[in-house]
Chains A and B, each alone.
Chain A
Amino acid sequence: MDKEEFISELKTIVTPYTQEPEALDHISEDTDFIKDLKINSANLVDVVLDVEEKFGIEIDNDAMARMLTVRAAIEIIEDKLAASGRE
C-alpha cells in the first residue's frame, strides 16, 4: 500500500469524527488529527480502534500516544504490518 492509499484509508476512518470538511478535503501527511481535524481525545481513541480493525493490527499505549498526525499514523501502521510480516 502506498502513501496515497494509506491517506485515503485514514480519510475514510476519520470522516465520521470531524466537522472540518475543508481540512478533510486537504488531508495530507502533515494533517494533525487534533489541531487540523478538531478531533477530541475521546474520538481519537475511536479513530485508533477503527485503524486496528481496518488493518488487523494492535496498537499499544506508546503508539497511541504518538499517533497525532497522519504521518505518525502511517508510520505506526507500516511498522505493525511489517512486524507481522504483511507489508
Chain B
Amino acid sequence: MTAQEIVAKLPYSKPFLFVDELLQIDENGAVGTFTYDKDLDFYKGHFKDSPVTPGVIMTETMAQIGLVCLGIYLYGDSNADMKAHVMLTSVAVDFMKPVFPGEKVTVKAEKVYFRFKKLNCNVVMTNEAGETVCKGNISGMVTAKLQS
C-alpha cells in the first residue's frame, strides 16, 4: 500500500483531518507532516487573545499520522471487503514547546509492537526548527470494518 493510498483511506475530513503528507511508511513506522492553518476554528477560543495549538489537537495529529496511518498500513489490503478501523485506546504525552498558528510539524512514529490487533507506538512531533514539541506513547486497536 502506498502512502497516497493510505491517506485516501483515512476516515477524517476537514476540519478534523490532521495529515497533509505521509512522507514515509513501512512496517516499523511512519513519518508525516501537518501545517496548522492559522484560520482553524479552535484558535478563536484557545486562547481568547493568544492562539496556541491545543495539546489535544497535537495529540490527535500524532495519533492520525503515527497510529492510524500505520495501523491501516499494517492491516494491509488482505481483505478487500473490509477496511481497517483504528480505535484509540491509550495516550501518554509530554509537551515541551508551544505550537503557534501557521506552524508546520513533522510526526515520526516507531512501532513498539503490533500484536493481537493492538498497535503501540512511540511518537515524536518536531517543529520546523527540528525541536521536539511533544512526544509520547500512543496505542489503539486495529479492527476490521465493512467497506461502506
Give the Cβ gap from A53 to chain B, nearest Cβ, in Å: 11
Give the Cβ gap from B134 to chain A, nearest Cβ, in Å: 22
* In contact, B89 and A40 (Cβ under 8 angstroms): yes
Contact-size category for B: 10 to 19
* In contact, B141 and A49 (Cβ under 8 angstroms): no
Q: Please indicate the chain A residues that have their CB under 8 angstroms from the CB of B13 in the complex.
A: none
Interface residue total, chain A, C-beta cutoff 8 A:
10
In the complex the two chains form, what is the Cα distance from A41 to B87 in whole Å?
A: 12
Q: Please indicate the chain B residues that have their CB under 8 angstroms from the CB of A46 in the complex.
A: 118
Which parts of A39-66 form the interface with B (CB within 8 Å)? 40-43, 45-46, 48-49, 61, 64
* In contact, B89 and A61 (Cβ under 8 angstroms): no
Q: Please indicate the chain A residues that have their CB under 8 angstroms from the CB of B116 in the complex.
A: 45, 48, 61, 64
Partner of B89, one of A42, A48, A49, A64: A42
Give the Cβ gap from A59 to chain B, nearest Cβ, in Å: 8
Partner of B140, one of A42, A43, A64: A42
A interface residues (Cβ-Cβ under 8 A, vs B): 40-43, 45-46, 48-49, 61, 64
Q: Can you show 20 pairs from A to B with CB atoms below 8 A apart?
A: A40-B89, A41-B141, A42-B89, A42-B90, A42-B118, A42-B139, A42-B140, A42-B141, A43-B89, A43-B90, A45-B115, A45-B116, A45-B117, A45-B118, A46-B118, A48-B116, A49-B113, A49-B115, A61-B116, A64-B116
- Name 15 extra pairs, CB < 8 A, besides A40-B89, A41-B141, A43-B89: A42-B89, A42-B90, A42-B118, A42-B139, A42-B140, A43-B90, A45-B115, A45-B116, A45-B117, A45-B118, A46-B118, A48-B116, A49-B113, A49-B115, A64-B116
